[in-house]
Amino acid sequence: MELIEINASDDYSSLDSLLDFDNILHPDDIPKTIIFGNTRAQVQEIWRYILIKLGADHDYMHSSIAYIHSLRAQGSKDRVMHQFLSGQIKILVATEAVGMGADIPDVERVIQFGLCTSLSVWVQRAGRAGRTPTLKAKAYLLAERSVFQQQRKRTRAKPTKEASEKDNENELIFQPEEGMEFKKHIEISFRNWLFTKDCRRKALDAYFCNPIGLRKQHDSDDCCDNCTNCRNPVSPPSQEEAPPPTFVFENPGDADTNIRHARTGILRNRAIQALKIWRYEEGSSPSASLLLPCEFLLPEKVLKKLAHNADLKTAEAIKAHFPEDVWPLVTVYASNVLQVLEDVDRKYTEEALQQQAQAKAKKTTSLTKCTVVETDFEPAPMSSLPSHTQPKRPLPRQPKRRKVDNNSSENVQQS
């Protein structure tokens, strides 16, 4: 499996490198491929794009490319499927109409163009490839860039009860930054699979609760794109890390973990996030219980209580607080959970102390700039000051002159 990022849902040029049009000279040069689209219109647009890319010089290969969706006549569907099974059609562009129940043994490549509705749908479509054990097949998921982009949080209506219960089943492991949210909303388990840095097969085993020990280990580098990048990296990873985000601590003076009785705000969110990541990694490891779901390792209610209660500072205190009927595996994982919480508290305390020191230094600098220097001196008497610096006395007030109307004076003389 391989994840490829594309610009948008109509970025059909991203198919050029996968289909390798420049090296196609004969239909036999094309491996048997199924390209899944999410809508009927998208399927037809992909089909036309491939025909245009082949050009007029490859008209003899146009019969090797076809499409299927639900609105095609049943006779046309049967004819296209028969030709695809026999090998006359090499590239089949289809919707979900081919996904369910299509057992074609020699499909070498599956391309999902655009993100589908759920992780289960993607796995079901990717499973159309490599149904022969000796066939080496590949599955590509072309996901839009908006799936990975973040934006500022927007106020929305409260989710319904059904949606809230569904989201609580699979919590989001890879959270966005503070005050941000992902631009495109998708299934939580699907996003966890997209953002995982571990083997994608292990992530699927954890999601479907598959017994990992029964699956054969893949020694080749083609297990998934994550395994390929780890074993054969294209370039060494960058040593420069992004600067950590700045947080505003609710109680900066309460930096000492010895006097903290409850984790709240940012610290509680960090503790919940760390415990979820630990639970996911522990459930994905071969040492975990194979017949139990990942949430059985640490129930959701216990997880939130552990993240909130800061008084549980020893494994014995955790065992006494949570009996086995509430958390059956408390005796096994109490010390592991305690170590996770201690790491979260230590990092939080270090950042709080560092922020306090920076605020104190900034305050000292501002006070230094605003300091007024006082000196002892006696003001000189007003008579000793020069004439041009002495205050001027106000001039005497002159009476206002009455304005006489000329016309009225002439009238008085005539009379």
Find tokens 């939130």 and name the residue.
Answer: 304
Question: For residue 343, how far is the Cα from the chain centroid?
Answer: 24
User: Residue 155: its pLDDT value, please?
Assistant: 64
Token pair for 111: 């391309």
User: Residue 235: its pLDDT value, please?
Assistant: 42
Least confident of 135-144, 221-230, 382-391: 382-391
Which amino acid is it at 87? Answer: G
Could you report the per-residue pLDDT of 231-283, keeping only the tens digit for each? 554 443 343 333 343 344 444 444 444 455 788 778 888 888 888 888 878 77
Q: How confident is the model at residue 357 (pLDDT cuts 50, 70, 90)?
A: confident
Using DSSP's 3-state secondary structure scheme, residue 16 falls into: helix
Using DSSP's 3-state secondary structure scheme, residue 186 falls into: coil
* CA pair distance 91, 76, nearest whole angstrom: 16
Q: Which whole number is the average pLDDT over 130-152?
A: 87
**Where is pLDDT greater, at 110 or 402?**
110
Could you report the per-residue pLDDT of 18-45, keeping only the tens digit for each? 998 888 878 888 899 999 999 999 999 9
* CA pair distance 58, 263, nearest whole angstrom: 67
Angle between helices 265-284 and 200-208 (to 10 degrees): 100
Question: For residue 345, how far is the Cα from the chain centroid?
Answer: 24
User: Residue 253: its pLDDT value, please?
Assistant: 44
CB 35 within 8 Å of CB 91? yes
67: buried, middle or exposed (CB in 10 Å: 19+, 13-18, 0-12)?
Answer: buried
User: Would the pLDDT of 228 be above 90?
Assistant: no
How many residues would you count in the chain?
A: 415
DSSP state, 290?
Answer: S
CATH topology of domain 2-149: Rossmann fold (3.40.50)
Which amino acid is it at 271? Answer: A
Q: Which whole number is the average pLDDT over 335-355?
A: 90
Q: Which CATH number fits domain 257-366: 1.10.150, 3.40.50, 1.10.3470, 1.10.260?
A: 1.10.150
Q: What is the dihedral of CA 245, 249, 252, 254, to 10 degrees?
A: -120
Could you report the per-residue pLDDT of 210-222, keeping only the tens digit for each? 765 555 555 455 6
3-state secondary structure 26-57: CHHHCCCEEEECCCHHHHHHHHHHHHHHHCHH
Q: Which whole number is the average pLDDT over 60-79?
A: 89
Across the chain, mean pLDDT equals: 76
**pTM for this prediction:** 0.55
Residues of the chain with CATH 3.40.50.300: 2-149
Question: For residue 161, how far is the Cα from the chain centroid?
Answer: 24
Could you report the per-residue pLDDT of 372-412, keeping only the tens digit for each? 555 554 555 555 555 555 555 666 666 666 655 555 555 54
Percent of the residues in the chain that have a pLDDT greater than 70, as a whole number: 67
Residues of the chain with CATH 1.10.150: 257-366
